[in-house]
Structure 1
Amino acid sequence: MQNEITIPIILDAVKKVGDVFLKDYKQNAIPQTMEELLKQLEGIDALCLTALKKDLSLNFPNILWHIGDEFDTNSQKNPSEQEEYWLCDAMDGAIQYLQHIAGWTINLALVRHGNPFFSVIYDPLANEMFWAKEGEGAFMNGKSLQISNKTDLAVMLAVFEYGHQDKSGNNLNEKIGSTVTKLLNNFGIVRNYGPHGLQLAYVGAGRIDLFVQEDLDTYNWIAGLLIAKEAGAEILTATGTAWKWGSESLLAAHKSITEKYMQIKSIN
């Protein structure tokens, strides 16, 4: 049985926990050892998940929870067998948060029948709330989002990303290097920013013209992917096929831009 969702309740819960982190931002020392780093990352995950569960379970008691461990490659290849569940990646960009730099968000997605149905990304530093519902569009602070309609590559901003997948012995580093080279040779502006979901939301907002990643990173993508899609972006793999859960690459942009990118990629 599918549950009716009340969007303002979900947005309020995500904003509430994001603002808790904002209050504590830069208050802790930057971790200097692996032990300190892991301890602080665990603390972020625990606080975020506990707060979201506490608020949302009161209103949606029948929706189960699934923790998106971005370091677990195998679990990202297929959605959970549950008909409906919250997929929580806690803080996207937690490393930036711990390093006292911008680029961290609270991400949450509701998955139904193996596909994202609703998602939200909250950027506390910018006070920007991105969200989308399947078939109903994408929004930021109540305003409808629309992707970029640029036609000149020289004024386009392209971003590349990479995840935690093991890149030894599978030529992924070479693929990523080739991708970056092609971007640098053809797009006016090329960046690597950090929070994957937020970058995909920025595609939906027309702030980023193209997003591409060559390795598997489902949990980092899923919330922003729906926002970009509902804003009008084409969601493909880096080889130009339709993206599906478990695809080991992602390309998101206006259809005319993905077509140009695929033409560029076909040139040796």
Structure 2
Amino acid sequence: MQNKINIPTILDAVRKVGDVFLKDYKQNAIPKAMDEFLKQLEDIDTLCLTSLKEDLSPEFPNIPWHIGDEFDTDSQRNPVEQEEFWLCDAMDGAIQYLQHIAGWTINLALVRDGKPFFSVIYDPLANEMFWAKEGEGAFMNEKLLEINPKTDMAVMLAVFEYGHQDKSDNNLNEKIGATVTKLLSNFGVIRNYGPHGLQLAYIGAGRIDLFVQEDLDTYNWIAGLLIAKEAGAEILTTDGTTWKWGSESLLVAQKSISEKYLQIKSTN
């Protein structure tokens, strides 16, 4: 493994492919049938991965690549059995991109020993590059990030999310509904925005105060988790335990807000 990584090279590669997508944004016909929809998603994956590999493989020739397929629940329970690998979410929020809606990013994480070591989330529409390296802080472009020190829940923005895990034979829909009810009853503003990683980066930037999700969504979380953590957020499950790869839920906020939410969650 390379002890040092060339951060500007990584950021430039992610920016390059993000700007290609930005150039083509709203130029596609919004898909009207499933085969058309799947073909456009496949094209996004292919373009993104090809571009990133071409730009990063010369600098990191021995690091393998993996696409984070959020539709594959089982594969998200454990990291790939390799010391390090690139985990590429070709486009977080691809549905929005295809529908001509804002809220899509290019996400890339370098995973080492089963946890994110470096991650980047690029929002081409806002020209904002969020990135973090383990133990060295989180940044938006060149600005050091720090979570918002709010204490008044009436002015807090909380977001809830859900993924593609099968919810037909468990109580996940009920848990998600109960979560939304708790949030609506206790936080000033509640939203469901779309791109999971970007919302976690927004925790680090102080724009969102709490993120909660009641089902498994590891691939959508990984890049944003490191950014939020390095900015000072707690990374927990909704039961209050420390989050680890394969955890079935996620709670991210500053420590005092996490504690308040867990107290709220425990009441009837």
Give structure 1 regions of 4+ aligned residues with deviation exceeding 2 angstroms.
1-4
Aligned to 2:93: 93
> 2:71 — aligned with what?
71
Q: Deviations over 1:57-84 (max 9, x none)?
A: 0111011111111110010000111001
CA separation in 2, counterparts of 1:66 and 1:216?
18
Give the structure 2 partner of residue 200 of structure 1: 200
- Report Cα offsets for 1:35-72 as digits up to 9, x if no partner: 11111000000000010011000111011111111110
Post-superposition Cα deviations, 1:95-148, rounded to whole Å, max 9, x if no partner, equal 000000100000000000001000000000000000000000000011000001
2:36 match: 36
Find the counterpart in structure 1 of residue 24 from structure 2: 24
- Partner of 1:226: helix, strand, or coil? helix
Q: For the Cα contact (< 8 Å) 1:3–1:60, is it kept in 2?
A: no
Q: What are the ranges of 5 or more consecutive residues in structure 2 without an aligned counterpart?
A: none
Distance, in Å, in 2 between the alignment partners of 1:147 and 1:50 is: 34
Query: What is residue 6 of structure 1 aligned with on the other side?
Result: 6
Give the deviation of 1:211 after TM superposition.
0.2
Q: Secondary structure at the match of 2:235?
A: strand
Q: Secondary structure at the match of 1:38?
A: helix
Structure 1 letter corresponding to 2:249: S
1:243 equivalent to 2:243? Answer yes
Distance in 2 (CA, whole Å) between partners of 1:66 and 1:116 is: 14
CA distance in 1, matches of 2:177, 2:127: 34
Distance in 2 (alpha carbons) for counterparts of 1:205 and 1:89: 21
Once residues 262 and 224 of structure 1 are traced to their aligned partners in structure 2, the CA distance between those partners, rounded to angstroms, is 21
Q: How far is the alpha carbon of 1:3 from its aligned partner?
A: 5.0
Q: Do structure 1's residue 118 and structure 2's residue 103 form an aligned pair? A: no
**Alpha-carbon distance in 2 for matches of 1:104, 1:170:** 30
Counterpart of 1:167 in structure 2 is 167
1:60 equivalent in structure 2: 60
SS at match of 1:109: strand
- What is the rounded CA distance, in whole Å, between the counterparts of 1:31 and 1:58 in structure 2? 36
Matched residue of 2:57: which SS?
Answer: helix
Q: Distance in 1 between matches of 2:217 and 2:51?
A: 25
Distance 2:222 2:51 in 1: 21
Query: C-alpha separation between the residues in 1 aligned to 2:88 and 2:82?
Result: 15
Q: How does 1:155-194 map to 2 (within 5 A)?
A: 155-194=155-194
Cα deviations by residue, 1:229-260 (Å, 9 ceiling, x for unpaired): 00000000011110000000000000000000
Rounded to whole Å, the distance in 1 between the matches of 2:60 and 2:200 is 27
Specify the SS of the correspondent of 1:9: helix
Give the aligned CA root-mean-square deviation in angstroms. Answer: 0.6
For these two proteins, the number of residue pairs brought into alignment is 268
- The Cα of 1:4 is off from its aligned counterpart by 2.8
* Residue segments in structure 1 that go unaligned for 5+ positions in a row: none
CA offsets 1:162-192 (integer angstroms, 9 cap, x no match): 0000001110000000000000000000000
TM-score w.r.t. length of structure 1:
0.99
